[in-house]
Structure 1
Amino acid sequence: MKSPHKSLFLSLMMVSTCMVLSSSNWLMTWMGLEINMLGFIPLMYFKETTNESETAAKYLVPQALGSTIFIASAMTTLHLNNLQILMPIALCLKLGAAPFHFWFPPVMAGLPLLPAFLLLTWQKIAPIFAISSLHPTLTTKILPIAAISALWGGIAGVNQTDIRSLLTYSSIAHTGWMLASVSSPTPTLTLYITTYILITISIYMCLTKQSTKSHKQLFSLKEPYDSFLLAITILSLSGLPPLTGFIMKLLVLYSTKASTIVILGLILGAMTSLLYYLSLTFSPLLHMNKTHFSKPQITSKTSIMFLLSQFLPLSFIIFYF
């Protein structure tokens, strides 16, 4: 696929997300979600192989199913109010939250690196903000899904050694925290998803330097300084105190209206995720302790993204609160 076509579909995907964020009725929201899906599917094709076609079909079917349930629920709520609960469930299916995540790991495994990170970051914005625009009684009913996502993302990622699988289940766990922040009266959701996107982009910029599969290859970069920044970024993604990821999770726990059981599920999921991320970075950090560090280049792209991901969300917190 030529580059102008990619730019066109990327612009279509961004415009449709803005359409969902600014929509005032469910029909416009549904149209924005559909355009977003149709704009992302052509971006999956990099080498036009059979594997990419299979991955696109695995993505299309659950997304179309979620859109169908969403618009059907929006139309039938005029007569049957009990079916309103299907609207956030359909959006959770499009979001890839547990237990509706059956399509998410296979799609992530078959995607090239750039579309995979678009699916991890940008494709979460429209469904999660559509959920936040629902009535508070509906958002309260889906808070158990937040605890299930956090727990499943932490437990399923323990035995994973592939980097993409680790990021996949970490995304499911972070989706649970995003759903928990939906019930917050403060702009916690915007701050959390901004922090998550910045940290994920920092990891993506490190992964593009070389082809990595297992966690042992992840920290074999030529520059020890870049490997050190990557380790700190991953620990921030896991929520290790006192890094930015921990501060954002603390902000969610402080402002959410979830029950005690849901909060315990979120904390247990975060602790489990922290376990396998610590095991991921512990050995490389010990190895880098014996490595001679050259003078770091603060102006490099990796350093700039690291500084943005760690300090920009903190400045947002000061601005809002």
Structure 2
Amino acid sequence: MKCSTPLFLMLVVLSTLLAITASNYMFIWMMMELNMLTFTPLICSQKSSTAIEISIKYLIPQSFASSLFMLAICMTSFLPNHNMLTTPALLMKLGSAPFHAWFPTIMQSINLSAGFILMTWQKIIPLYLISIPQLSNAPIILISIAMTALWGSIAGLNQTNIMLMLAFSSITHLAWLISATLFSVKVMFLYFTLYSLTLGTIFSLLKNKNLVSHKMLMHNGLSTYHLMILSFNFLSLAGMPPFAMFSGKLLVICLMKNMLMILITMMIGAAISLYFYTVFSLTSILNLLGSTNTENKKEYFNVICVLTLVLQLSALPLILFFS
């Protein structure tokens, strides 16, 4: 990466923090623009025609969404229902269905570090704005939640590219994040934290071993420890109990108990995601067990210790929330 990367990364973080602590919509819009412009160099940190193409694909929908948001803010005095414009703009920035087409395309070719930031940190400002009732239109958001939950999970089926699978999974998780945002910012923050930590572990292993496909994972020679940790985090990402992400989803379910149809749609999407993540993880584990050697067997104790720790910590979010 270029030497200027730390500067751009610092500006991405700073612009987000300034946006979520501001009360003036115009200033928030300026910080969104700064955030977008400083994140773009992180995408094209490697000089290539592909990187430039990806950055353009990122800039076009983001710029359109920013323009739409700006237009809505300027028309606040003339258009009482200006949230009819701000809501689609924010959903497009998030990559939520039906404004999601740009997201998988970028994730398929982006570098791992920028991909992790795009799937986590870059969602903070739009989610914060959605939590403001004056800027969000509930009917549009609920329709988007249902579409996002189903489309992300269905599109993730039969994916062999790990980045694409994570991209569609991110779209599914976005439905849960937006749902939590509508009812409780506290629960949204908890869910977002659990999601970011789980995804961070996965991306760290993928970057360390330079893995982008299931085939590479099978033949990369990962140790038992690394493969089991990767599989456990995939299962947690799928929301399988008793892993950590299950606690987050359970809290969202408790919040949405009065919106049965939307909740059922989200749970169907979660079940489909659980299916393809379970198949992915079991295939990896069984392949490992089929080629177990003496060196791998020595690592089983470490695996058991880590699994125990994960299972113990998975209940921590619920304890903290209800205490």
TM-score (norm 1): 0.91
Tell me what 1:239 maps to. Answer: 239
C-alpha displacement of 1:311: 6.4
| Secondary structure of the structure 2 residue equivalent to 1:212 | coil
Q: Distance in 2 between matches of 1:130 and 1:270?
A: 25
Match of residue 129 from structure 2: 130
What is the deviation of 1:246?
1.3
Q: Give 1:313 shift.
A: 7.1
The 5 A counterparts of 1:228-307 are: 228-256=228-256, 259-290=259-290, 291=292, 292-295=296-299
C-alpha contact (below 8 Å) 2:19/2:27 kept by paired residues: yes
Q: What's the % identity of the aligned pairs?
A: 35
Q: CA deviation at 1:138?
A: 2.5
SS in 1 for 2:167: helix
Deviations 1:100-127 (A, max 9, x none): 0011111112211111111111111111
> C-alpha separation between the residues in 1 aligned to 2:179 and 2:321?
19
- 1:83 Cα deviation (Å)? 2.8
**1:89-100 maps to which residues of 2 (within 5 A)?**
89-100=88-99
Deviation at 1:282, TM superposition (A): 1.3
- SS of 1:82's equivalent in the other structure is coil
State the alpha-carbon separation in 2 of the partners of residues 33 and 86 from structure 1: 16
Task: State the 1:257 CA deviation.
Answer: 6.7
1:22: how far off?
0.5
SS at match of 2:137: helix
Q: What RMSD, in angstroms, separates the aligned Cα atoms of the two structures?
A: 2.4
* 1:24-47 Cα deviation digits (max 9, x unpaired): 121121111111101100111232
Distance in 2 of aligned mates of 1:65 and 1:257: 35
Aligned to 2:17: 18
CA distance in 2, matches of 1:121, 1:136: 22
- What stretches of structure 2 of length at least 5 have no aligned partner? none
Decide whether aligned partners of structure 1 residues 214 and 39 sit closer, same or farther in structure 2, where only a CA change above 3 A counts: same
Counterpart of 1:191 in 2: which secondary structure? helix
Q: CA–CA distance in 2 between the matches of 1:25 and 1:16? A: 14
Provide the rounded CA distance (Å) in 1 between the counterparts of 2:97 and 2:222: 37
For 1:51, the equivalent position in structure 2 comes to 50
CA contact (8 A) 1:180 1:258 kept: no
| Number of aligned residues | 315
Deviations 1:126-150 (A, max 9, x none): 1111211234972454122111111
Structure 1 alignment gaps of length 5 or more = none
Task: Return the TM-score normalized by structure 2.
Answer: 0.90
Contact 2:86 2:135 in 1 (8 A): no
Alignment check: 8 A CA contact 2:180 2:252 kept: yes
Flag the 1:40–1:147 CA change in 2: closer, same or farther, 3 A: same
Deviations 1:254-307 (A, max 9, x none): 013762221111011001111111111112222334524224796xxxx69x96
AA aligned opposite 1:152: W
The match for 1:319 is 320
What is residue 85 of structure 1 aligned with on the other side?
84
